[in-house]
Structure 1
Amino acid sequence: MLFDTHAHLNDPDFAADLPAAVARAEEAGVRFIVNVGYDLLSSRIAVKIAENYPGCYAAVGIHPHDAAKVIQETYTEIKKLAQATKVVAIGEIGLDYYRDLSPREIQQEVFREQISLAKELKLPIIIHDRDAHGDVLQIIKEEKAGENGGILHCFSGSWEMARQCMKLGFYISLAGPVTFKNAHRVQDLAKLIPLDSLLIETDCPYLTPEPYRGRQNEPAYVREVAKRIAELRRTTLEELAEKTSQNAKKLFKIQ
């Protein structure tokens, strides 16, 4: 049993292929998928997919790229969407200093507001962190953001940052880059992260793992992420899949 903790089947790239993509995931042993919102539209679609597919769940939230577009009504709608039965997290939220599509101070404000909302709703958070490690760590400490758990998704920070985040109540999730030939740092992390704190994901349609690079990523390929991490840890795919799935079900409160 595999659990893709971060997918975007709510992305337009899957609009014409959604049933087939879900079927391929099931054939690959992927029993659970969390589709993660990044704006209001994608959050609505994630909720709808969760309603229509038994193994799919949803997270709702505003990505830092869109932070500058947020108004008070945005939070109201995210809160309303979060009441749906199969919404299991607020996300993806956080900071992105690589593209800087929204001013950094606005990104930080919207990040803090969504952490507050998640705490009010007693939901975990899914954090996007790109080239913003210091500020992400500072904010989650100040806001006590790990109160209901959370994920540093597609983690790209240091081992020291990972250690601090785990102490604050967060899981560390690894994606397709762990399969890349020269991704030595993330491969080292894959060996070091305690199994109790590890999750796996695709972040599809992005970051397609080996040996499928060049194709559109999809939840079925989370199997390749799991296989590579199992190899690095010198354990079996079955053990890695079982433990990471248990971790995800515990975090998201899925029976």
Structure 2
Amino acid sequence: MKIFDSHTHLNDDAFYSNVEKYAQHAKALGVVKLANVGSNQVLNDRSLALSARYPDMYSIIGWHPEDSIHYHDEQEKLLIEQLQSPKVVALGEIGLDYYQTTSPRAVQKQVFKRQIDIAKQLHLPISVHNRDAFEDTYAILKEMNVSDIGGVMHSFNGDPEWLKKFLDLGMLVSYSGVASFKKTREVHESVRQTPFDRMLVETDAPYLAPEPLRGKQNEPAYTLYTVEAIARFCDVNPDDIAAHTYANALRLFGIED
């Protein structure tokens, strides 16, 4: 079994001083490739450093909605330059977050749209963060014709109706440990209705540890448990989910295995 953790944060303070330990544990559980996702200049820089150091790590860099208040012309100039690094596979995580954030919604929308424009200029897919902002996130992606570049709805936690809307825009959906939680029944149903060729898996570590480790610090190795949960909901072998999501990540990110 080969698993691709399509969205994690070994560039986070929780891991950055001991990345080798977590990388080795991930490989021991079949997680052989991963993408470290940035959200501001520090985390973007760290993601790029890890991609340069580890052959099976890739970078997704951009400005998170919570950090969008700090996004300005100089940051944008640096971002455009860094996005052209050879192991950058997408722009993200970008989007909208309406849950207890210090960045005004108008600023978030402006920075979200600007980064989609940059992704189009550089022919990169995007990784989209959406927290309590389904309607506006969908409206912006539709307005910006996201199908021109494609991308992924990171840690998707919507119901089947929202699933269909984002799939119709040409987006892939990525499932995190949330899909394994016992009470997230709408997400379970979305998992069942997601075509295997449009599905990714992720940890979003150090957050959202899947069952049976819910409440503990997450890490890339635990992508395995999300794969196993999805397999149960879909009544297929975990090897099938791993194979499909691995191939989908390679295709979306333009990586040759």
**Is 1:242 aligned to residue 230 of structure 2?**
no
Give the deviation of 1:16 after TM superposition: 2.5
Following the alignment from structure 1 to structure 2, what is the Cα–Cα distance between the partners of residues 198 and 112? 24
Q: Quick one: percent identity of the two aligned structures?
A: 39
Q: Could you list the runs of 4 or more consecutive aligned residues of structure 1 that deviate by over 2 angstroms after TM superposition?
A: none
TM-superposed CA distance for 1:165, in Å, is 1.3
TM-score when normalising by structure 2: 0.97
Determine if contact 1:37/1:61 at 8 Å carries over to the other structure: yes
Q: Which amino acid aligns with 1:3?
A: F
CA contact (8 A) 2:62 2:79 kept: yes
Task: Tell me which residue corresponds to 2:184.
Answer: 183
- How far the C-alpha of 1:180 sits from its partner, in A, is 1.1
Shift of the alpha carbon at 1:215? 2.2
Deviation at 1:214, TM superposition (A): 3.0
Query: Structure 2: which 5+ runs fail to align?
Result: none
Comparing 209-218 with 193-202, greater Cα deviation is found at: 209-218
- Pairs within 5 Å for 1:51-90: 51-90=52-91
Matches within 5 A, 1:85-234: 85-234=86-235
1:198-247 CA-partner distances (Å, limit 9, x unpaired):
11100000001111123210000000000000011000011110001101
Secondary structure of the equivalent of 2:101? coil
The question of whether the paired residues in 1 share the 8 Å contact of 2:61 and 2:93 is answered with yes
| SS of alignment partner, residue 108 of structure 1 | helix
Any conservation in 1 of the 2:95–2:112 contact (CA below 8 Å)?
yes
Moved more, 157-166 or 68-77: 157-166
Cα shift at 1:15: 2.0
- Conserved? CA contact 2:39–2:64, under 8 Å: yes
Equivalent AA in structure 2 for residue 243 of structure 1: H
Q: Relative to 1, partners in 2 of residues 1:215 and 1:17: Cα closer, same or farther, differing over 3 Å?
A: farther
1:13 corresponds in structure 2 to 14
* Matched AA of 1:49: L
What is the Cα-based RMSD across aligned positions, in Å?
0.9
Question: Contact between 2:157 and 2:179, CA under 8 Å: does it hold in 1?
Answer: no
* Distance across 1 between alignment mates of 2:18 and 2:158: 33
Q: Would you say the 8 A contact 2:208–2:215 is kept in 1?
A: no
Structure 2 CA distance, aligned partners of 1:186 and 1:158?
6
| Secondary structure at the counterpart of residue 212 of structure 2 | coil
Q: Supply the distance in 1 between the matched residues of 2:202 and 2:4 (Cα, whole angstroms).
A: 7
What SS is found at the alignment partner of 2:14?
helix
Distance 1:154 1:176 in 2: 8
* Unmatched runs of 5 consecutive residues or more in structure 1: none
**How many aligned residue pairs are there?**
255
Letter of the 1:143 counterpart: M
